[in-house]
Chain A
Amino acid sequence: MPEPVLHVSDLVAGYGRQPVLHGLSLHVDPAEVLGLIGPNGHGKTTLFRAISGLIPAWQGAVRFLGEDITGLRTPLIAERGLVHVPQGNHLYPDMTVLENLHLGAYAPRPRKEWRNTLEQVFALFPRLAERKSQRCRTLSGGERQMVAIGCGLMGQPKLLILDEPTLGLSPRLKGELRDAIGEIIASGVQLIIVEQDPEFLRRLTTRQVFVEEGLTRDDFVSGSLEHGKIMEMYFGMD
């Protein structure tokens, strides 16, 4: 049994004094693409923030590529190749698309090859190449999301975390972005992705995990992820 790429064990974290994660455990094995699903406000984003060191882990441990990264500062975690693309439009609003992408390769390892990576990103999102000298403030929501994912790719991730990249986008844009994410997976980048559409997750990811009330639900094995069951869990419908 090879060592998992990411191993989160009994993680407790939260905001103020309020825990959001109650001893959550999760692992990503080599060559695995993990999909996370679950109602909003149940700890998916908190989990990622704790993994990438944006908030401290109160208990438990995070191991990445066999090394303990619990308590490391965020930039050091990013340098190791664990790249987290946060939810929402988190960019440098007054910089151009090109500058944003450029800075995505700031860490020493991706910096050397940033021009090559940039070409790959432009090939994936041709629209970004057209808009490269435009300030991110002036972009549409979908384009910003492309820049955000592009910045993540610029960091040459060994594991890429995409926190609900299609949030708030029109169905057409969602489809476009999903195709792009499919291409990223096909190119061999390992990732964890949050999505609210079980159908989409089942098509792209190799395993799906349900996060509820700060814990993962083990009974949610691959294949049993049915639309009706999700509706029931979200909305209490029969």
Chain B
Amino acid sequence: MEWIDQIGVAARAIFASGLVLSSLYVLIAAGLAIVWNTLGIFNFAHGAIMVIGAYVAWTISDPAALGWGMAAGVLIAVATAAVLGLVINRLLILPFLSQPNLVLITVMTTLSGAFFLENSALLIWGPRIKQLEKVVSGNVSIAGTAISGHEATIIVLAPLLMLGLWAFLRFTWVGSAVRAVAQNREFAELSGIRARAMYAVAFAISAGLAGFAGVMLGAIRFITPGLGSEPLIKAMIVVILGGLGSIPGTVVGAYLVGFGEAASTYFLGAYWTQAALFLVFIVILVIRPNGIMGRK
């Protein structure tokens, strides 16, 4: 029964690589979803924040640069990304908050922010391709497929971070206030909630997650100024698929897209995967225009 073995091999390979991809998409898409949820905009500079996160981690940790070790690299990269998120929020979003066509304006401002950041990265770190050390060395076997310890870390950390995010939004005053501003800004302000501060919180968390995702990605792929653009598109699919702004929907969407991509790469090859992904995406939206867990 050779074909049963073949299916087994395929399933294991898809499972392992799908899990890694899904976990990365969860991290990236959750950040996008939080900002969409609270401000009602898409941050196109999200991918560029990932890039900066990866480069900063490289500068801090790589022996050829500062060489302070990977832990410091991850921490400082996430902190830098969060601060960058605050700056983007302050410069590219807040000035236009009261404009009626906020969504369109911020498409342009965050896109230009993304170009600015990517080209700054090119200017600062140069065109030479870099790669981060793996956060955890060694290999782990999942369902009979060997993956690196680094990838296993991503697989474990992504759901944990989502759990933490959920608990923060659900059980803390500030987290509740972030959700409140998302649902009814005016009513929130009348209760003494500072909407602008909540936007800043949402942006800092979102960018921090992006920075973390960038660091994780930077040890799997090569770091270039364009590192974030392809994952960002996938993450946007995830967010729209999951039902705009819904965090549970985003998690489901991330695992759907991740495993879909892994399966498609295995059977159809990388060349057709993008097209196949978008085809499925469009079909699902035709059936459920508000996404899997979205509501009107």
Report the Cα distance A85→B186, complex, angstroms: 11
A44: interface (CB < 8 Å) = no
Question: Looking at the complex, which one of B173, B184, B186 makes contact with A106 (CB distance below 8 Å)?
Answer: B173
Interchain Cβ contacts within 8 Å, total number: 69
Report the Cα distance A206→B177, complex, angstroms: 36
A78-B191, A104-B191, A151-B191 known; A92+B186 contact, CB < 8 A: no
Contact B184 A78 (CB under 8 A): no
Contact B192 A92 (CB under 8 A): no
B288: interface (CB < 8 Å) = no
CB neighbors of A among B210-252 (8 A): none
Report the Cα distance A54→B186, complex, angstroms: 8
Report the Cα distance A79→B176, complex, angstroms: 17
Residue in A closest to B170 when the chains form the complex, CB atoms: A99
* From A85, A86, A103, residue with most partner B Cβ within 10 Å: A103
A103-B176, A103-B177 known; A75+B193 contact, CB < 8 A: yes
Give chain A nearest CB distance to B263 CB in angstroms: 34
Cβ–Cβ < 8 Å partners of A94 in chain B: 183
Q: Interface size of B by Cβ–Cβ distance < 8 Å? A: 17
Give chain B nearest CB distance to A205 CB in angstroms: 22
Report the Cα distance A103→B193, complex, angstroms: 9
Contact B191 A103 (CB under 8 A): yes
Report the Cα distance A104→B189, complex, angstroms: 10
Cβ–Cβ < 8 Å partners of A86 in chain B: 186-187, 190
CB neighbors of B among A75-108 (8 A): 75-76, 78-79, 83-86, 90-95, 99, 102-107
Question: Looking at the complex, which one of A52, A54, A79, A91 makes contact with B184 (CB distance below 8 Å)?
Answer: A91
Cβ–Cβ < 8 Å partners of B195 in chain A: 75
Contact B183 A95 (CB under 8 A): yes
A227: interface (CB < 8 Å) = no
Contact A74 B184 (CB under 8 A): no
Report the Cα distance A138→B24, complex, angstroms: 36
Cβ–Cβ < 8 Å partners of B192 in chain A: 75-76, 78-79, 106-107, 155
Report the Cα distance A85→B190, complex, angstroms: 8
Question: Looking at the complex, which one of A73, A79, A90 makes contact with B187 (CB distance below 8 Å)?
Answer: A90
Contact A106 B187 (CB under 8 A): no
A92-B180, A102-B176 known; A73+B194 contact, CB < 8 A: yes
Known: A83-B190, A90-B187, A92-B183. 4 other contacts (CB 8 A): A78-B189, A90-B184, A91-B187, A95-B183
A residues whose Cβ falls under 8 Å from a Cβ of B: 52, 54, 73-76, 78-79, 83-86, 90-95, 99, 102-107, 111, 151, 154-155
5 pairs from A and B in contact (CB 8 Å cutoff): A54-B190, A78-B190, A86-B186, A103-B180, A103-B188
